[in-house]
């Protein structure tokens, strides 16, 4: 499967639709879909990045970089996920309600007749709560349709010159908070602050998981030396932003 074949599939499914919008998260999957949609539909294709309290700043920057490289119109749509009670409560269906917010915002901005596309791929677990929203909003998932998995997607993204082709898989900030613990700007802000700092140290894959006023920094084994060299600074930052301290744990993907 080539990028051109992916574009052909999108063109066939889109037909004569006047607008097609890709939910561009900044990840490699949605980035490849955006690239193919641009080839398939030209100026009829637009990329939308819906930004909320759950969105890491690095994802917003990466989405803008990808859209710029592709040459597709890019819209940043600001929303408040915490204004949705079902998201704020942080139960097992949180992702469904958040995805509904994303797709509803895109349609409200671009018009109800706009075709929505996303980066769901063949390797994604079929029981993900967000896929319910994908079905309800009739979102086109071309990577899943064509049975394309992550390794194939990365290879095509590399060939297409996408700057995020090897970006590690990531998830929203809400996934760091234990289920059932209410999402607040304060809790999410602490996670964002610590993870942003860890990224500046070179940890491109890291998770900060708070539990009350303690946090666990989960890092890949190859970053052990960086953690050891900066442990005191990381703990100091944790205390500065309102945590009592943090612990460290190697994370095996």
pLDDT digits (tens, 9 = 90+) for 32-85: 999 999 999 999 999 999 999 999 989 999 999 999 999 999 999 999 999 999
d(CA 123, CA 127) in angstroms, rounded, equals 12
Q: Average pLDDT of 87-104?
A: 96
d(CA 15, CA 65) in angstroms, rounded, equals 28
CA 208 to the chain's CA centroid: 16
Give the SS3 label for residue 115: strand
Contact 21, 46 (CB under 8 A): yes
pLDDT, residue 169, reads: 77
pLDDT digits (tens, 9 = 90+) for 113-167: 999 999 999 988 888 888 999 999 999 999 999 999 999 999 999 999 999 988 8
On the question of pLDDT at 21 being above 70, the answer is yes
d(CA 137, CA 107) in angstroms, rounded, equals 10
Q: SS3 for 4-70, per residue?
A: HHHHHHHHHHHCCCCCEEEECCCCHHHHHHHHHHHHHHHHHEEEEEEECCCCCHHHHHHHHHHHHHH
pLDDT digits (tens, 9 = 90+) for 207-241: 999 988 899 999 999 999 999 999 999 999 999 99
d(CA 139, CA 86) in angstroms, rounded, equals 22
pLDDT, residue 245, reads: 87
- 251 — pLDDT class (breaks 50, 70, 90): confident
Alpha carbon distances (Å) from 72 to 28, 92, 111, 162, 238: 15, 34, 18, 13, 39
pTM for the model = 0.93
pLDDT digits (tens, 9 = 90+) for 140-154: 999 999 999 999 999
Provide the percentage of residues in the chain whose pLDDT is more than 90. Answer: 86
The helix (run of H) or strand (run of E) holding residue 172 is: none
Q: Is the dihedral of CA 237, 184, 109, 27 positive or negative?
A: positive
Helix crossing, 185-200 with 224-240: angle to 10°? 140
pLDDT, residue 253, reads: 59
CA 66 to the chain's CA centroid: 13
pLDDT digits (tens, 9 = 90+) for 188-204: 999 999 999 999 999 98
The helix (run of H) or strand (run of E) holding residue 219 is: strand 214-219
Give the SS3 label for residue 210: strand
Provide the percentage of residues in the chain whose pLDDT is more than 70. Answer: 99
The helix (run of H) or strand (run of E) holding residue 86 is: helix 85-88
pLDDT, residue 28, reads: 95
């Amino acid at each position: 499967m080539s990028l051109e074949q992916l574009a052909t599939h999108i063109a066939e499914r889109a037909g004569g639709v006047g607008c097609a919008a890709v939910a561009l998260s900044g990840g490699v999957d949605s980035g490849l879909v955006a690239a193919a949609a641009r080839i398939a539909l030209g100026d009829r294709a637009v990329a939308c990045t819906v930004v909320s309290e759950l969105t890491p700043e690095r994802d917003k920057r990466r989405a803008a970089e990808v859209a710029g490289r592709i040459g597709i119109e890019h819209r940043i749509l600001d929303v408040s996920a915490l204004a949705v009670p079902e998201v704020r409560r942080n139960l097992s269906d949180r992702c469904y309600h958040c995805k509904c917010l994303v797709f509803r915002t895109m349609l409200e901005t671009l018009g109800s007749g706009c075709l929505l596309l996303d980066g769901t791929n063949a390797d994604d677990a079929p029981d993900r709560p967000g896929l319910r929203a994908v079905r309800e909003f009739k979102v086109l998932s071309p990577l899943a349709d064509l049975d394309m998995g992550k390794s194939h997607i990365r290879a095509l993204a590399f060939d297409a010159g996408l700057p995020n082709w090897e970006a590690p898989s990531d998830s929203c900030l809400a996934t760091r908070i234990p289920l059932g613990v209410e999402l607040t700007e304060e809790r999410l802000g602490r996670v964002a602050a610590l993870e942003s700092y860890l990224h500046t140290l070179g940890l491109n894959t890291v998770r900060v998981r708070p539990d009350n006023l303690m946090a666990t920094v989960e890092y890949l084994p190859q970053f052990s030396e960086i953690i050891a060299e900066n442990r005191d600074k990381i703990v100091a930052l944790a205390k500065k932003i309102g945590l009592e301290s943090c612990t460290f744990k190697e994370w095996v993907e």
